[in-house]
Structure 1
Amino acid sequence: MAADMKAAQQADDDLQPETGWRARLEQYGRPLMAVFTLVVFAAVGLAIYRLTEEVSYDDVVAAMSTTGIDQIGLAILFTVLSFLSLCLYDWNAMAFIGRKRPFPEVALTAFSAYAVGNAAGFGMLSGGAIRYRSYSRAGLGPDDIGRVIAFVTLSFSLGLAAVTALSLIPMSGEIAPLIGIDPNWLRGIAIVMLAGFALLVIIGERRSLTFAGVTLRLADSLTLSRQFLVTVADLAFSASVVYALLPEQAAISWPAFFAIYSIAIGIGVLSHVPAGIGVFETVIIASLGPTTNVDAVLASLVVYRLIYYVLPLVIAIILVTFTELRHVAKTPALAGVGRTASRISPALLAALAVILGTMLIFSSVTPTPESYLELLQGIVPLSVVEGAHFFSSLLGLLLVIAARGLAQRLDGAWWAATVGSAFALVLALLKAFAIFEAGALGVLLIGLVSSKRLFVRPASLFRQALTTSWLTAIAVICLGACFLLFFVYRDVDYSHALWWDFEFSEEAPRSLRAMLGLTVFASAVAILSLLRPAAPAVTPSSPEDVDKAVAILKRYDVADSNLVRTGDKAVMFSPDGEAFLMYGKQGRSWIAFLDPVGPKKSRDELVWQFVEAARLAGCRAVFYQASPQLLPAIADAGLQAFKLGELATVDLSRFELKGGKWANLRQTASRAERDGLSFEIIPVEGVPAVLEDLRAVSDGWLAQHRTKEKGFSLGAFTDDYMLAQPVIVLRFEGQIVAFANILVTDTKVEASIDLMRFSPEAPKGSMDYLFVSLLTHLRGEGYQHFNLGMAPLSGLSRREVAPVWDRIANTFYEHGERFYNFKGLRAFKSKFHPEWQPRYLAVSGGLSPVIALLDATLLIGGGLKGVVKK
């Protein structure tokens, strides 16, 4: 074992120079993107500040107060129509992949996904995460969910580009002066965009495009056209929301505004700023400012954000709360809606907590209306108002931080959000009689109380490491509060005396103190997250850990979990000690092998525990060969699953060498016996007597194949490992010429093998005879299934709507024989007529699946040299 560990370490050392650039890219990629986002947001904030130099906060509030009821009613109507259009994205995607679900379930999922995506738009609160959690528990596989998300994303992106281009051609003369670009340039850009869209339609008619050996299959022109109409309807209705709220003096036609709105949405998406906040407003103000009052435009955009972003999220929370209270779930026809609501409720509550936390922070740097102050002055003392104002901002920060824990269903986050929102509701009334603010907090509070049963993870909120995306979001919120403070009090001359001025009528000092407290506490949170002690290094398990894991695995049905006996993997136990997970580290990937072993509740908690531990160490969490049963827990933890291959399982109750389909194996077994082969099952206590004979066969096999011992998902020939389980051997002329160690558990539900090795003297067909003999013996012993192992990259989708991952994997499967015998391995397992079960690689999205698979390959091969040299 020591020699094996030394060899693996040497291989890993050899790997470092070749992976250094990738490690640095992974290490600094997200921080650089966070810095880019903050720089963009700061630039946008400065742009808005300069564009509104002639505007005061009172002007904006006055403009908002003049917004007519008819305007608000129209805006709400267009919002409803826009979200109905958005639901058609998912409905059409389901029809396109051939996996239709009841419309109420799809509509609730799509509505919630867009409500959360629009309002929060990052990390675990993205629309894609909502879809993954909901649809995975509704029976859709990861590849189907990936196709839905890809279909929706691509449809919107192409539709937005096409709509913008079509709008620019006739309206370029009207739009060009607004944004300071020559009309001919606008027309040229629009024509190029339309030409690209037309090319995609032509490709869609051909249904495929091959580039660099990779085939890209698109939807047919009818589907593209249908989705284009949906995008047009969505953008038209959402643009009409803003247009209905614009002041009457806005001298711009609806078609021209439609084009500007489309451009603003696109730039907001590209900026990577959460919800595009500030970026969208800058484009609109820069375009409309010269033609109308900026204060009226800014007021319209604030109301637009409330109606189109906050209102749908509140409605989604109300719908989910309604179902959680069992008013809908009791109806059989709508039972699916109730199940969907339970799946997405934590993410919805988390998104609303982010929005309301931001609202509390922003309200702490804005003044209270004078009439409310006069009323408060006669009811509560100044100290109460000052304290309420200050602590409201801190409670807002607490809600934003707790939101991440709510998305992860932490009971500590539930308590923090519940107590924080309750106190914030009281303080909202004490500081400013903020009825709207208190009402929104009341909705969150009711939603949290009604969904208490969903927050069952006994994990500490304060031990969770905030990820880069969450720290970026907090920084954006704090920067936004700073810009809002400077905008509101731009006419107030700064002096040190402001910090110590305590008067009912003095709003600027209160806002300054609240901003200071917010900055201090937000900085403390960021510093604690960034300077958190490094996670302990991943080290192989101790003998005590192995013994404890073996005691657990004996009670369950996963034969391959015996690979924990190799001792080359780290072991993580659930908090209750009833489940374990084995994993290794390669590069910046923590890779768990197989599902956790133990009772379901402990397994699900262990998934969260592993993901959080990997993130705390600054690494990605990866599940290698995850089963379909683990997918719901993986989806809840914010990971995506990509099909890795298929596992072959033989039903031993139906295994017999009678009948035509078994003729080849029957003949092979008979020939082997005629040639003098015989088999023997050696129990654990008999293995020491033949250990040296087995070692000779193993060494000969390694030398013949010019390879070395592997690891992680494969065992290695070591004394401790070989002596731990029974062995089947083949004898030829009295000598052992082949063997395999047998992996079993006490339940006798499943058996498997790991090491299969034979000497050059073994007759042809020895391996077939070994398997036939072993399966026959196991059936007689009462075992139910035999696990033949996984066929990598086999069984992936080949349909025209297959996701990119499947297409790349299929390319390797078809043309990668020089590196790995993909087809030959599946063909060998197929001899035994097994049932094929999918296995998955679970990881975060982006490039992570490819990098994680590369890391897993290196981990199994013992580094780059091990992979190259087999």
Structure 2
Amino acid sequence: MPTALPSGPSDAPVAQPIRFIRLKPVLIAAVALLIVGLSVLALSRLLSAIVYDDLITAIENTPWSRVGLALLFMAGSFLALSVYDVHALRFAGARLPYRLVALASFCAYAVGNIAGFGPLTGGSVRYRFYSPFGLEPEAIAKVVAYVAAAFGFGLAFVAGLGLAISGSDLAALIGLPGATVRGIGVLVLTGVAAVLVFATLRRGSVTVFGRAVALPGTSDILSQLLATSVDVTCAAAVLYVLLPDGDVSFPVVLAVFSVAIGAGVLSHLPGGVGIFETIVVGALCTRLPIDGVISALLLYRIIYYVVPLVVAVGAMIVSEARRATMASPALVAAVSGITPVMLGTLAIVLGAMLVFSGVTPPADTRLDLMSAFIPLPLVEGSHFVGSVIGVFLLVSGRGLVHRLDGAWWLTMTLAALSIPLALLKALAVGEAVLLAILIVSLISARHLYIRPASLLHDQLSPSWWLCIASILALALGILFFVYKEVPYSHDLWWQFEMSAAAPRSLRAAVGIGLAMAAVAAWLLIRPPSGRIEPANADDVRRAVAILERGGHASANLVRMGDKNLMFSDDGSAFLMYAKRGRSWISLGDPVGTEAGQHELAWRFIEMARAHGGRAVFYQVPAESLSLYADAGLSAFKLGEEAIVDLAAFDIKGTRRGNLRNAINKAERDGVVFEVVPADGVPAVLDELSTVSTSWLEARKAREKTFSLGAFESDYVASQPVAVLKRAGRIFAFATLMISGDGREAAIDLMRFTPKSPNGTMELLFTRVLLHFKAAGFASFSLGMAPLAGLSDSPMAPLWHKLGRAAFEHGNAFYNFHGLRAFKTKFDPVWRQRYMAVAGGLNPLLALADVTFVISRGLKGAVSK
């Protein structure tokens, strides 16, 4: 029995272009961090003329009526944003009730606005929300692409309109000729008009770089343009009503806002932080008091970013509280799917809040009140510890997104500690309330955190390092801004007084830096998690014991012993995989308990990333895709699996005449059908081997592996075998796989001698199906029809076009048409199967690696 994959070209050094691909996320994060640093530097120069007290005064002087108006405009913006999803779903050919669409849109934007590039983070939320309602991954991908394109197109229109209308006023602000600014606006509007005309003339689709891209109708584009205009206008109005009175019109603010938002989105920074503020302050500070502009920006961030997230989390708390009374299981699954993302985002926001609070002083009135009844050591200690806790909340937030049990406990502990610390350090009631909301939401979502993995073994991606580094860079900038009038002295470190805010913040900044350095050191110097070891006989027996407690029938492929195995910490689940090149290929989902499956999926993804590889989940069902979407993997359809409902299967009626005839003819010819139990297989193994060898030789074929069984004695003898005999001799057989719960069966090896009569396979399949129907089984899997069910539309994704071409023209290597046609005779239900992997070129490279693994090398890949 083979215990390891054959060595070969997979161990060769990785080519330089591939190394660049591996380093690309790191390089992007480094460039983005550089942009953050430059933005902080630019802002510090713009803010050189004001002091922190002026900024606080400007915030306190903002009328509550303006804050209320800003909240109304924020609500209007998010209402317009929901129209994006309505149009996008219609474009993708799907319809859902508006209340569900509005909830999905609100949550997606509440998370996406903060976490970074909305189409990516918001797309993940949409996938988790829409998939329980039956939307296929391809349809959700269309929704995400439509929303992103609609926002960019509408933003260009609004920005161009603002530049064209208020070019002269805006030119005076930024120091360019008015004609130039208006010309830019007219040019942008001309481009928008050109797109509209083009879409009107080229109805249906357009080819871009050899790929057909579907186009919405002109009326849809115009209505979406209106929705985007309302969205951007309302969002800009949130900022406008918070600005101090001055000689700046709303069209000017709208144009500046549109440009700043666009630059923030393109930067891929969390919330466009730094870039957005730099552009707005730089453009408006010549006409408005700069302290008023900064205070308006801070309030805008709170109202448009933090408030929607808190409201979304509140809606989640209510939904979880009503979980038992919800009539729709799909809605329950949808809310549960997006909850971890929202809680992780909220934890990061509150972590940033504690970090920023640590480098800023409390109000003087609070200091006077605190000095009366809070001892100085408690103030100093709570300020320092609260700031350090903020760093650990930044890290635990990612664990919440990934449903780590350890992250749940850590975040609960940190939040519970932070509430009294917030009150002791600065009487920060607002901070305490937000932390309490986090605790309540975590308690309501406790059932979602079932992955018993260590947070310290979770691999932080470059984008997460960028998020944390951006927050720390901003904290450092805030520290220097707040205390720029305090001359530095070594004595500051040892000043402990109630009014000594600068030394307290300085010590907190050092604590923040040391805490982050400790986390980074641990994550960077620890060895990669997981060891690559071939499975031995004991491992296989252990895995078989797990699948016999409830695994799918196809999980019996673990008996081959040709795959590496990974077990959950509690031994309740296993994952079988192979490695070739950079691809770490899991065969299907992990097998075992739900908690063990989640744990293994994440461990496998992290292990692949820790070794510089790509995680691939091969032949997974649609129900599992939300788990892989959590890790940033995309779904690519491989084909369809044929599942026969045994309760409904029979051979009655005219449609089944060919199957009845095959059985009747076989009986007349003396053909005997028998299912040999596993303990009886060794006695007929030689006969089975003879049939198998003749079958391979007649087709000049080779044994496959990994996702297919091979004729190896130990493997064949481990399961029942269905045989056809004539004159006491076996001339055809099929190995059978049975699920752990005894309700599902599947077929693996199917072989017969060259002299077998016509209709042998129909006869064998029919008798097998009738056998398991009589035994009380619920379903029977006839296996995959590779590349079947892919779209043949001109607007289909490139992946579908490549697969469709192989399906139509690849019969020289594999009988795609014949295989599906044969299985269709038994009226199966076709269930889609996917490959989950990162996007870009990864799907094609991963599929090539999978093919090599299955075929045992290049020769097998190009032969039958």
TM-score (structure 2 length as normaliser): 0.91
Match of 1:51 in 2: 46
Q: Does 1:408 align with 2:414?
A: no
The letter of the residue matching 2:449 is: F
Which of these residues, 121, 124, 134, is aligned with residue 126 of structure 1?
A: 121
The one-letter amino acid paired with 2:264 is G
Alpha-carbon separation, structure 2, partners of 1:167 and 1:598: 58
Which residue of structure 2 lines up, in the alignment, with residue 295 of structure 1? 291
CA shift in 2, pair 1:685/1:835, >3 Å: same
From the superposition, tell whether residues 155 and 805 of structure 1 become closer, same or farther in structure 2 (CA, over 3 Å).
farther
Aligned mate of 2:511, from 493, 507, 517: 517
Quick one: distance in 2 between partners of 1:782 and 1:670? Answer: 24
Deviations 1:144-189 (A, max 9, x none): 3333322222222222223323433344444345445533762464
Distance 2:53 2:338 in 1: 39
Distance 2:827 2:328 in 1: 41
State whether structure 2 residue 196 is matched by structure 1 residue 201.
no
Query: Aligned pair in 2 of structure 1 residues 425, 781: CA closer, same or farther (>3 Å)?
Result: closer
CA shift, 1:793, in A, is: 2.4
User: Residues 792-811 of structure 1 correspond to what in structure 2 (within 5 A)?
Assistant: 792-797=786-791, 805-806=799-800, 809-811=803-805
| 1:64 aligns to 2:62 (yes or no) | no
**Residue equivalent to 2:340:** 346
CA distance in 2, matches of 1:324, 1:430: 32
Q: CA deviation at 1:337?
A: 6.8
Q: Bigger shift: 254-263 or 615-624?
A: 615-624
Q: Secondary structure at the match of 1:290?
A: coil
- Structure 1: give runs of 5+ residues left out of the alignment: none
CA distance in structure 2 between the aligned counterparts of 1:272 and 1:103, rounded to whole angstroms? 30
Change (3 A) 1:317 1:50: same
Which of the residues 124, 132, 137 maps onto 1:142? Answer: 137
Match of 1:241 in 2: 238
Which of these residues, 226, 230, 245, is aligned with residue 229 of structure 1?
226
Q: What is aligned with 2:494?
A: 500
Match of 1:277 in 2: 273
Cα pair distance change 1:685/1:387, threshold 3 Å: closer
1:38 has 2:33 as partner? yes
Matched with 1:220 is 217
Query: Hey, what's the Cα distance between the residues in 2 that align with 1:615 and 1:775?
Result: 43
The worse-fitting range, judged by mean Cα deviation, of 699-708 and 500-509 is: 699-708
Whole-Å separation in 1 of the counterparts to 2:117 and 2:856: 36
**724-733 vs 151-160, which deviates more?**
724-733
Tell me if structure 2 keeps the 8 A contact 1:268–1:276. Answer: yes
Query: CA separation of 1:714/1:352 partners in 2, compared to 1, >3 Å: closer, same or farther?
Result: same
Q: Secondary structure at the match of 2:473?
A: helix
2:392 matches 1:395:
no
Between 826-835 and 739-748, report the one with greater CA deviation: 739-748
- Deviation digits for residues 545-603 of structure 1 (CA, Å, limit 9, x no counterpart): 21122223234362221110111112233344333332222333332222333344544
* 292-301 vs 802-811, which moves further: 802-811
- Superposed, 1:460-539 pairs within 5 Å as 460-539=454-533
SS in 2 for 1:465: coil
- Residues 418-447 of structure 1 show CA distances to partners (whole Å, capped at 9, x for unaligned) of 222232222222222223223322322333
Q: 2:711 aligns with which of 698, 713, 717?
A: 717
Provide the residue aligned with 2:69 in structure 1: 74
- For the residue of structure 2 that corresponds to 1:375, the secondary structure is helix
Counting only pairs closer than 5 Å after superposition, residues 395-474 of structure 1 correspond to structure 2 as: 395-474=389-468
Distance 1:544 1:73 in 2: 67
Amino acid at match of 1:132: Y
State the one-letter code of the partner of 2:192: L
Q: Distance in 1 between matches of 2:294 and 2:16?
A: 46
Deviations 1:83-142 (A, max 9, x none): 111122223333444443333333222212211111223799922222222223344333
Q: Secondary structure of 2:360's match?
A: coil
Does structure 2 retain, via aligned residues, the 8 Å contact 1:11–1:865?
Answer: no
Q: How does 1:823-838 map to 2 (within 5 A)?
A: 823-838=817-832
Deviations 1:632-653 (A, max 9, x none): 5545666544433211122344
Residue 363 (str. 1) matches residue 357 (str. 2): yes
1:105 aligned to which of 100, 106, 110: 100
Q: Is the 8 A contact 2:4 2:563 kept in 1?
A: no
Name the Cα RMSD after superposition.
Answer: 3.3
Q: Give the Cα–Cα distance (whole angstroms) in 2 for the partners of residues 252 and 815 of structure 1.
A: 64
Match of 2:300 among 268, 290, 304: 304
5+ residue gaps, structure 2, are none
Query: Is the contact made by 2:88 and 2:147 (CA closer than 8 Å) also made in structure 1?
Result: yes
Q: Which moved more, 1:610-619 or 1:71-80?
A: 610-619
SS at match of 2:586: strand
1:240-260 per-residue CA deviation (whole Å, 9 max, x = no partner) reads: 1111111212x3322222122
Q: Measure, in 1, the Cα distance between the counterparts of 2:561 and 2:194.
A: 56
Q: Deviations over 1:379-405 (max 9, x none)?
A: 223322222221121011121112122
Q: 1:669, 1:769 within 8 Å by CA — same for their partners in 2?
A: yes
In 2: Cα distance, 1:175 partner to 1:809 partner: 52
Change in 2 beyond 3 A, CA 1:789/1:235: same
Deviation at 1:744, TM superposition (A): 2.9
The partner residue of 1:258 within 239, 254, 260 is: 254
Deviation at 1:368, TM superposition (A): 2.5
One-letter code aligned to 2:196: A
1:378 to 2:375 alignment: no
> Partners in 2 of 1:406 and 1:430 — Cα distance?
27
> Where does residue 623 of structure 1 map in the other structure?
617
Are the aligned partners of 2:165 and 2:251 in contact in 1 as well (CA < 8 Å)?
Answer: no
Give the C-alpha shift of residue 516 in structure 1.
Answer: 1.2
| 1:665 CA drift (Å) | 4.7
Match for residue 771 of structure 1 among 765, 775, 779: 765
User: Which residue identity is paired with 2:108?
Assistant: A
CA distance in 2, matches of 1:858, 1:335: 41
Contact 2:422 2:432 in 1 (8 A): yes
Count of residue pairs the alignment pairs up: 861
Distance in structure 1 (CA, Å) of the matches to 2:304 and 2:740: 58
Distance of aligned partners of 1:751 and 1:96 in 2 relative to their CA distance in 1, 3 Å threshold = same
Deviates more, 1:476-485 or 1:602-611: 602-611
**Would you say the 8 A contact 1:147–1:803 is kept in 2?**
no
CA distance in 2, matches of 1:166, 1:821: 57
SS in 2 for 1:126: helix
Closer, same or farther: CA 864–477 of 1 in aligned 2, 3 Å: farther
Q: Which amino acid in structure 1 is aligned with residue 242 of structure 2?
A: L
Aligned mates of 1:714, 1:129 — CA distance in 2: 33
In 2, the alpha carbon distance for the partners of 1:694 and 1:334 equals 51
Letter in 2 for 1:84: L
CA shift at 1:704, angstroms?
A: 4.9
Q: CA deviation at 1:267?
A: 0.8
CA distance in 2, matches of 1:124, 1:520: 34
Rounded to whole Å, the distance in 2 between the matches of 1:220 and 1:529 is 50
8 Å Cα contact 1:116-1:125 kept in structure 2:
no
Q: How does 1:175-194 map to 2 (within 5 A)?
A: 175-180=170-175, 182-183=180-181, 186-187=184-185, 189-191=187-189, 193-194=191-192
SS of match in other structure, 2:745 = strand
